[in-house]
Amino acid sequence: MLRNLLVPLDGSALAEAALPAAVCLAQSAGAMITLLHVIEHNAPRQIHHQRHLTEAAEAEAYLQDIAERAVPAGLRVERHVHANETLDVAKGIVQHIAELNPDLILMSTHGRTSPARWMFGSIAQQVVAMGSTPVLLIPPKHRSDPSLFANHLLLVPLDGDPAHEQSLAWAAELARACGAKIQLLTVVHTVRNLRGERAAAASMLPGTMAAVLEIEQQNAEEYLQGVVPELHRTGITAGWMVCRGKRVVTILEVARELNADVIVLSTHGKAGTEAFWSASVGPRVAMESQLPVLLVPIK
């Protein structure tokens, strides 16, 4: 159940792109919004060409202004400033999870079209990689047009692994809160886009591998056909589809074709941030997507 939405802010307009989504979800689910600022040790004077918040009193005033300016009356909003300077802002955000007990963290990303790897986008990636709380990543374009965030259609890629169905539970939570529809998707490889040992096997026995992939598609169809009725029984409208191709590319293509509002994916933690973002399907989708992406850490 969505009760507390955590929005870390650094004082920049880029970070504030997560606020409209937080307000929308808070209104739909009756949740509280918690605004957080972590004071950075030896912080730069500017961030994203704007003055950086470096003092606790300044940060308190900023969060108070945001609460009054960006959060509609009637919504409960809390503010928290971590005044002790920290060398690792992302780690500082993650460490506040136990204290603030959020159900969901909302953060802006730097976006694929940005001219540089902006600091706050990097921090958002680290929070996803290090934390255990689901993180909703919001593209920066939502700052200039708050109406872009909606929750009418949630795309949920699944692969048949029961552990990855944790994303489905979160999608169902959002769907119930916002009256959204869920579209399930499973992507099955083609012979051409196989990698590693399977690609080697396909080169020697292409006919056999093609037959194996056909069986995988049939299994995927049966799997999704079994999941949808469970959603219907809880009052959620849901559909399913199986596509062939590269997973990340196909997920993004389907999201665009269906005009999905949010992509919801489970993801495993990795040993390091770079490994996490380069190896997992969920983070790779988040890096490429122009849509909000909800990443649910697998517990």
Query: Is residue 296 included in any domain, yes or no?
Result: no
CATH classification of the domain holding 63: 3.40.50.620
Q: Which H or E run contains 294? A: strand 293-297
For 238-249, what is the mean pLDDT?
A: 94
Q: Which of 115, 148, 181 is the last residue in one of the domains? A: 148
Judgement on whether residues 108 and 230 belong to the same structural domain of the protein: no
* Separation of alpha carbons 134 and 294, rounded Å: 7
Structural domain count, the chain: 2
Judgement on whether residues 220 and 113 belong to the same structural domain of the protein: no
pTM: 0.87
Judgement on whether residues 129 and 43 belong to the same structural domain of the protein: yes
Query: Is residue 260 included in any domain, yes or no?
Result: yes
Judgement on whether residues 205 and 279 belong to the same structural domain of the protein: yes
CATH classification of the domain holding 237: 3.40.50.12370
For 123-141, what is the mean pLDDT?
A: 84
Structural domain span for residue 95: 4-148
Q: Does 156 have pLDDT greater than 80?
A: yes
Q: Which of 105, 123, 148 is the last residue in one of the domains? A: 148
Q: Does 274 have pLDDT greater than 70?
A: no
Q: Which H or E run contains 82? A: strand 77-86
Q: How far is CA 239 from the centre of its chain?
A: 21
Q: Which of 124, 148, 172 is the last residue in one of the domains? A: 148
Residue with tokens 């870390």: 8
Window from 12-21, 146-155, 182-191, 240-249 with minimum mean pLDDT: 146-155
Judgement on whether residues 78 and 203 belong to the same structural domain of the protein: no
Query: Is residue 106 included in any domain, yes or no?
Result: yes
The pLDDT, as a whole number, for residue 180 is 95
Query: Is residue 19 included in any domain, yes or no?
Result: yes
SS3 state of residue 276: helix
- For 87, which DSSP code? S
Q: Does 120 have pLDDT greater than 60?
A: no
- Number of other residues whose CB lies within 10 A of the CB of residue 267: 26
Query: Is residue 262 included in any domain, yes or no?
Result: yes
Q: Token digits for 259?
A: 């005009």
Q: Does 270 have pLDDT greater than 60?
A: no
